[in-house]
Structure 1
Amino acid sequence: MDNGDIFRHAGRVEMRSRIMILHCVFCNFRADVSVEQRQKTFEELSAFSLSLDGVLAFDFGPNRDYEKKSQDYSDGFVVRFASQSALELYADHQMHKELGKHLCDLCEGGGEGIIVFDIETP
C-alpha cells in the first residue's frame, strides 16, 4: 500500500495520506508457564518497544475469547507503530530478536505457538 490508500473504518470509506501499523501477537503459552512469567515477558517487551521512535502504544493482556474462537491463545499484545519503517526498526532490533526468542521458548511448539497479524490502519 502506498500513502494514498483508501480505508474502510467504522462503515465509512476514507482517504488517508498516512497509515499506522497494528502489530498484533497472540500466544499459546505452555501449560507450565505461570501468569507471572507471562506478565514479566510482556512488561519487558513493552519497555523495549516504548523506548523506540515510532512506537505509539503497547497493550497486552489475557484473551477473554467472548466468541469462543481462539481458546488456544491465552494472551496477546498489540503494538501501534507510526509507520511501516518504525515496525521494521523494531523487527530488526537485536533486543526484539532476543525477547522474541524468549517468547517462543514459552509457547507450545515454539514459534508455532504464536500468531502475528500486521494490520494497516488510518
Structure 2
Amino acid sequence: MISHCVFIRFRPEISRARRDALFAEIDALRHTLIGIVAVYTGVNVSPEIGMDKGFAEGFIVDFDNAGSRDAYLMDPGHQKTGARLVAAAVGGGNGILVYDLDTGHCLVRQAR
C-alpha cells in the first residue's frame, strides 16, 4: 500500500470554508478512481509545537498500490485540485510538502 501524504501551508487569507472545499475535492476522487483505499484530511494535532514547520493542514490518500497512485497523479480531477491547492499555498508549490510511503515495505517494530 502507498500512503500519499500531502502537507500544506495555506495562505492566511484562504478561508476555512475554502480549505474544507479543497479537501472535499480530494475526498471525492475516491468515488471516481480505482485503487483508493482511504482518504484522511485535517489539521495538525501534534503537541510538538513548531515541529510542523508551518505545514499545519493536510491529507493522506492510501492507495492499494503504486499503479493506483500513479493513475491518481495523472487524473485530470486531481490535477485541477492540485493546481488550486498550489494557488492557495504560501509560496505556491513551496508551501506544499508531498511524501509517499510504501507501507508494504516498512519495517514494523511493535512496542513490548
Specify the TM-score bucket, using the shorter chain as the normaliser.
0.7 to 0.9
Q: May I ask how many residue pairs the two structures share in their alignment?
A: 103
CA displacement at 1:71 relative to structure 2? 4.3
Larger Rg computed on CA atoms: 1
Please list every run of 5 or more consecutive structure 1 residues that lacks an aligned counterpart in the other structure. Answer: 1-19
Please list every run of 5 or more consecutive structure 2 residues that lacks an aligned counterpart in the other structure. Answer: 105-112
CA displacement at 1:66 relative to structure 2? 1.4
Structural RMSD (CA): 1.0
Q: Greater share of strand residues, 1 or 2? A: 1
Runs of 4+ in structure 1 off by over 3 angstroms are none
Instruction: Write the distance in 2 (CA, Å) between the matches of 1:115 and 1:66.
Output: 20
Q: What TM-score comes out, normalization by structure 2 length?
A: 0.88
Instruction: Write the distance in 2 (CA, Å) between the matches of 1:89 and 1:53.
Output: 9
Partner AA of 2:28 in structure 1: A
Pair 1:89-2:75 in alignment: no
Aligned pairs for 1:38-49 within 5 A: 38-49=19-30
Instruction: Write the distance in 2 (CA, Å) between the matches of 1:76 and 1:91.
Output: 17
Residue aligning to 1:74: 56
CA displacement at 1:50 relative to structure 2? 3.8
CA displacement at 1:45 relative to structure 2? 1.1
Instruction: Write the distance in 1 (CA, Å) between the matches of 2:32 and 2:61.
Output: 12
**Which among 5, 27, 31 is matched to residue 8 of structure 2?**
27
CA contact (8 A) 1:65 1:71 kept: no
**Which among 32, 44, 49 is matched to residue 63 of structure 1?**
44
SS at structure 1 position matched to 2:30: helix
SS at structure 2 position matched to 1:78: strand
Instruction: Write the distance in 2 (CA, Å) between the matches of 1:40 and 1:67.
Output: 27
Residue aligning to 2:87: 105
Q: Greater share of helix residues, 1 or 2? A: 2
